[in-house]
């Protein structure tokens, strides 16, 4: 795996996010709320679509626990709207076609990680392909990154996926959301 910058560490401030969502609204890390920044591969990625579905299912509970979600895709705005926002999503989605945030936050690229997911996560891949079609087979080599940020803007956990479908478990996100401030 190749890492383009240094991985984020616990207690480090989250680097400034200069983002605009797919609806043209500027996005800043919220203050006083917890945050999950999820860096996805392309919007057409089968594994990513499964994860977006999973986050959508848990969003109401997470929001009630003072946690916001920002989903960043290495795709054009048109592709994010086509594959992700074709159904309403309760969290903000960002198009980052050049992968700037992925590089800035220590994301990795790995052909082996992509191949590993395709071999070991066949049921998930097939389910995801049913959502996006065969275009999902043309995804790049970026590995997912999930970053949990406390209400003070500090990184609590930076989870760097080891393969294309490897995200921080939802149970760990829920445990973080339930944690008392401080």
Q: Looking at residue 177, what is its pLDDT?
A: 94
Does 123 score more than 70 pLDDT? no
Please identify which residue in the block is written with the tokens 């560490």. 9
pLDDT per residue over 49-99, tens digit each? 889 999 999 999 999 999 999 999 999 999 999 888 878 899 999 999 999
What SS3 class is residue 30?
Answer: coil
Calculate Rg over the CA atoms of the chain.
15
Residue among 86, 52, 44, 58 at smallest CA distance from 71: 52
Q: Looking at residue 18, what is its pLDDT?
A: 80
Longest dimension (CA), the chain: 46
Q: What is the mean pLDDT of the chain?
A: 84
Please identify which residue in the block is written with the tokens 């939802």. 170
What SS3 class is residue 22?
Answer: coil
Other beta carbons within 10 angstroms of residue 162's beta carbon come to 16
Question: Where does the chain have alpha helices with state H?
Answer: 46-64, 77-79, 100-104, 111-120, 122-132, 170-178
């Amino acid at each position: 795996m190749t890492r383009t910058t240094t991985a984020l560490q616990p207690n480090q401030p989250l680097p400034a996010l200069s983002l605009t969502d797919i609806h043209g609204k500027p996005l800043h890390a919220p203050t006083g709320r917890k945050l999950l920044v999820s860096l996805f591969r392309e919007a057409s990625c089968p594994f990513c679509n499964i994860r977006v579905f999973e986050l959508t299912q848990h969003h109401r509970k997470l929001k009630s626990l003072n946690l916001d979600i920002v989903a960043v895709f290495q795709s054009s705005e048109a592709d994010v709207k086509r594959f992700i926002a074709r159904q309403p999503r309760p969290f903000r989605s960002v198009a980052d076609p050049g992968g700037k945030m992925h590089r800035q936050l220590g994301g990795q690229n790995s052909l082996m990680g992509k191949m590993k997911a395709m071999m070991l996560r066949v049921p998930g891949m097939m389910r995801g392909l049913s959502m996006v079609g065969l275009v999902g087979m043309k995804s790049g080599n970026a590995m997912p990154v999930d970053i949990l940020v406390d209400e003070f803007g500090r990184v609590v956990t930076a989870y760097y996926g080891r393969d294309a479908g490897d995200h921080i478990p939802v149970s760990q996100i829920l445990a973080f959301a339930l944690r008392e401030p401080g």
